[in-house]
Structure 1
Amino acid sequence: MAPSSLVFTVQRQMPVLVTPAKPTPHEFKYLSDIDDQESLRFQIPLIHFYRNEPCMSGIDPAKVIREALARALVFYYPIAGRLREESGRKLVVECTGEGVLFIEADANARLQDFGDNLQPPFPCMEELLFDVEGSAGVLNCPLLLIQVTRLLCGGFIFSLRLNHTMADGQGLALFMNAVAEMARGATEPSVLPVWSRELLRARNPPRVTLEHREYDDDMPHDSHNTINTPPDVNVAHRSFYFGPREISALRMRLPEHLRKNSTRFEILTACLWRCRTMALQLEPEEEVRVMCNVNARGKKEGDFLPMGYYGNAFAYPAAVSKVKSLCNEPMEYALELVKKAKSQGMTREYLQSVADLMVLRGRPHFTIAKSYLVSDLTRAGLENVDFGWGKAVYGSVAKGGIGDIPLVSFYIPFRNGIVVPVCLPSTAMDRFVKEIESMTSDLITAPPPSRPLSAP
């Protein structure tokens, strides 16, 4: 990760609104009943680091990206609008064409100053993605904020904050790649955006046909209950790297039939859930849950979503266990629960049942107390966005957690493995590190060396 002692200053120009390059329709577009649940009503930050590219010498990345953004918004014009809320807490985009916020900046730092292994948390993040006053809300605010920060070495940092109700990781990747294609000279995106949010609308009448333990309403929605500590306890942020050796070590802990029939996601989720629960030292009879973010895209039953659909298309199926069982049983116990939950969430009916639940229960937040959520971004393609300076050295979420809730970990592709940001109370983090080291047989290592970050 970047050196925690790194300090630099950023000189920012005044934020501006970038509007679509051509006139766009003024209309109202309803979000789906998956989009507008309480769980997604927050801003999610991403960060991309780019090397100096000699063939782009003398070309200003901020200017290139700003102009490409305006052209891309012609196709993605709802993103240039503003969210309104109607009766029943239903969200609708008023396509006003007001635009998205854009900040141009310069930092007195070089890419190599951030270290060889770029991972969350990043130093001075508030400087690299400045919180423009009045921009952080969900309603009646810009839906997107972008900051391009030029570095002394000729590289740059692209930071972004998106209203999550508008898109999930794969949907955001579609939009970012559209901007990148425009930056490289395209006249339209190679994959045209599709709205079609009615495909994930509740039925009439709505009917919840499946069990959804991720929305249990018998537990208080108190973010501190998830970490079992009072609000003034220091929370530590740390990333963990799981390469082929670490995953292999975890597989070797499983019975042979599970070694062959379990995915990397399933195995890693079972391990993290178990180690995290042990580290928190909860009461044995308490129930804990892990929620797996399962995206409908790429699944056989997800074919009902057209290519170019950029809305949220996932569910949070939950595995639930008593603490004593999760901690005392071998890892295959947790793995079987994870596999079952993931399998349930992969059906179209499950997603439809969630949409119906949202309407019937007022669009609730998923259960926070004693919960852990994992979101797999290894197939989103965010790291492949190329504005003309090549692929990002690092390109994904800027931190673990969502909003002020530290219970979420993202699986981020990193070289030939996965980086997982984790947020825990400091004392629990120390225990978590020991549990992870034990589970991987002391094979937690730094990622393999890469080529230098600066151009020769």
Structure 2
Amino acid sequence: MSVMVTKSWPVLVRPSTPTMPDRIKVSPFDKPVAFCAFSSFLVFDRAIHEPAEIIKRALSRALVHFRLMAGRVIVGDDDGELCIACTGEGVEFVAATANCALEDVKLFDPPFAAVLGDLAADYPEASCRVTDPLLLMQVTEFSCGAFVLGVTWNHVVADGTGIALLLRAMGELARGRAQPSVSPVSCAEHLLPDLPPLVAAIEQTMVGHLEPQDYSYLDFTLPMSTIDRIRAELSDELGAPCTVFEAATAVLWQCRSRAIMPDDDPGTLAPLIFTADARRHVGAADGYYSNCVITQAITPSPTIREVADGDIKDVVKLVRSGKEQIPATFAGKEQAEGVPGVDALFGYNLLFVTSWRNLGFEATDFGGGTPARVMGHVGPKSVPACVACLPYRDKDGANILSRFVKEEHAGAFLAELAKFM
């Protein structure tokens, strides 16, 4: 059947009580991602009464605590300095209804990419303008009572952990708590250091490479049995247990490298860049919701043949080595030797992985239980990227949404992936 989503006219939801007007200088972690939009989707398969009204009221109360999110970006006329003005102007909110049940939309069965655009409010130009709200929310209710919460935000105001903190707080307030269980902290209360030079260069270059790409949209789950087998094979070789992220990323990296490896140049590099939460490295307080994520490159980058033909244990060790470089990066001891020019990292051979494991989206509960599935949308303007380890109640493993292979390589990638199942 044809799915039709009918949207109400957007309204601005303001803090339920006035907040202190202020002008907050954004941190060095916020600047590289300013005006980049990202969307997340929380799929609730259990009905609650009037979900849009409940969520709208909870949002209004939560904005009292997350006051930056109700403000607007301002750019200094003289110095171009980015700030967030805590104006209390509010968050754009849309209530919507679908003409079908949730199961008819097939959000649990790929392909569903065409449907996602209808389930979230979006910025007019697919990127954020100075005058736009920092946060857009849409609640879409289905005929069966299920609903989807779509959240789109200007990345300057929060990272994924920050948005998850907001949503968890909204759920707590909706269920009757007087205050969020975790007190929100932003760049207004906690000063962060400058980004390490290599990290800053990578992030600035990555934003410059966000261009429309004709990549295949893939939704798949790496079973926990596969992950556990890899972890068992490594046993004590890493000095600490292999993580789900390390195992899943290694499999993605190897399968993709095998699928796209050129016959005439197997010695070309296969860069891997991944996001890492830097909160503990910079001493950020619990509840910090402004950006505190870095993009970490594995240096030196291996060749595509080394990744494709190597033992999976060695590929896991490469991923672990990238994580182990993070403390030295913040200590000013970056290993520049063997690192190509940053621009050289950004081609089709690049793999960018961002993990949503343990960010907290899965804890959101507006009274009917936690989401059956959480999705992050990798838009058409992207480097080869995937959102990994997404919460998915009925899937035992690491759910992954990706746009990182051309259509001509999608079949080969899935065939390589099947070898690990």
Mark the CA change 1:342 to 1:366 in structure 2 (over 3 Å): closer, same or farther: farther
Secondary structure of the residue that 2:3 maps to in structure 1? coil
1:122 to partner: Cα distance:
4.1
Identity %: 28
| 1:393 alignment counterpart | 372
Mark the CA change 1:382 to 1:219 in structure 2 (over 3 Å): closer, same or farther: closer
User: Is the Cα–Cα contact under 8 Å of residues 224 and 398 in structure 2 kept in the other structure?
Assistant: no
User: Is the Cα–Cα contact under 8 Å of residues 273 and 351 in structure 2 kept in the other structure?
Assistant: yes
User: Is the Cα–Cα contact under 8 Å of residues 42 and 138 in structure 1 kept in the other structure?
Assistant: no
Which of residues 384, 389, 402 in structure 2 aligns to 1:411? Answer: 389
| 2:272 alignment counterpart | 290
| 2:306 alignment counterpart | 325
Mark the CA change 1:436 to 1:259 in structure 2 (over 3 Å): closer, same or farther: farther
Query: After superposition, where does 1:238-317 map in structure 2 within 5 Å?
Result: 238-251=218-231, 257=237, 261-282=241-262, 283-297=265-279, 299=280, 301=281, 304-317=283-296
**How many residue pairs align between the two structures?**
405
Deviations 1:291-312 (A, max 9, x none): 1212134x5x45x211111112
Secondary structure of the residue that 1:165 maps to in structure 2? coil
4+ long deviations beyond 6 Å: 216-220
User: Is the Cα–Cα contact under 8 Å of residues 44 and 402 in structure 1 kept in the other structure?
Assistant: no
Unaligned stretches of 5+ residues in structure 2 = 334-341
Code of the aligned partner of 1:391 = T
Which of residues 183, 199, 202 in structure 2 aligns to 1:215? Answer: 202
Code of the aligned partner of 1:156 = F
Tell me if 1:110 matches 2:101: yes
1:244 to partner: Cα distance:
2.0
1:176 to partner: Cα distance:
0.8
Distance 1:26 1:352 in 2: 36
Which of residues 98, 102, 119 in structure 2 aligns to 1:128? Answer: 119
Mark the CA change 1:431 to 1:89 in structure 2 (over 3 Å): closer, same or farther: farther
Code of the aligned partner of 2:412 = R
Tell me if 1:377 matches 2:359: no
Code of the aligned partner of 1:215 = I
Which of residues 2, 25, 50 in structure 2 aligns to 1:30? Answer: 25
Distance 1:88 1:307 in 2: 32
> CA RMSD, aligned part only?
3.3
Secondary structure of the residue that 2:287 maps to in structure 1? coil
| 2:346 alignment counterpart | 368
Distance 2:207 2:244 in 1: 32
User: Is the Cα–Cα contact under 8 Å of residues 128 and 159 in structure 1 kept in the other structure?
Assistant: yes
Code of the aligned partner of 2:147 = F
TM-score, normalised on structure 2? Answer: 0.85
Distance 1:378 1:386 in 2: 18
Distance 1:102 1:80 in 2: 12
TM-score, normalised on structure 1? Answer: 0.79
| 1:16 alignment counterpart | 11
| 2:319 alignment counterpart | 338
Mark the CA change 1:218 to 1:286 in structure 2 (over 3 Å): closer, same or farther: farther
Mark the CA change 1:116 to 1:172 in structure 2 (over 3 Å): closer, same or farther: closer
Mark the CA change 1:410 to 1:42 in structure 2 (over 3 Å): closer, same or farther: farther
User: Is the Cα–Cα contact under 8 Å of residues 205 and 343 in structure 2 kept in the other structure?
Assistant: no
Distance 2:19 2:344 in 1: 36
1:108 to partner: Cα distance:
0.7
Distance 2:21 2:344 in 1: 33
Secondary structure of the residue that 1:247 maps to in structure 2? helix
Query: After superposition, where does 1:195-206 map in structure 2 within 5 Å?
Result: 195-196=186-187, 198-202=190-194
- Larger RCO: 1 or 2 (CA < 8 Å, sep 6+): 1
1:156 to partner: Cα distance:
1.3
Deviations 1:210-239 (A, max 9, x none): x65972999995457xxxxxx77x421111
1:381 to partner: Cα distance:
1.6
Mark the CA change 1:407 to 1:368 in structure 2 (over 3 Å): closer, same or farther: farther
Secondary structure of the residue that 1:101 maps to in structure 2? strand
| 1:433 alignment counterpart | 414
1:262 to partner: Cα distance:
2.1
Deviations 1:79-136 (A, max 9, x none): 1111123466542101111111000111111122234836774442222113354684
Code of the aligned partner of 2:14 = T
Distance 1:402 1:183 in 2: 34
Secondary structure of the residue that 2:267 maps to in structure 1? coil
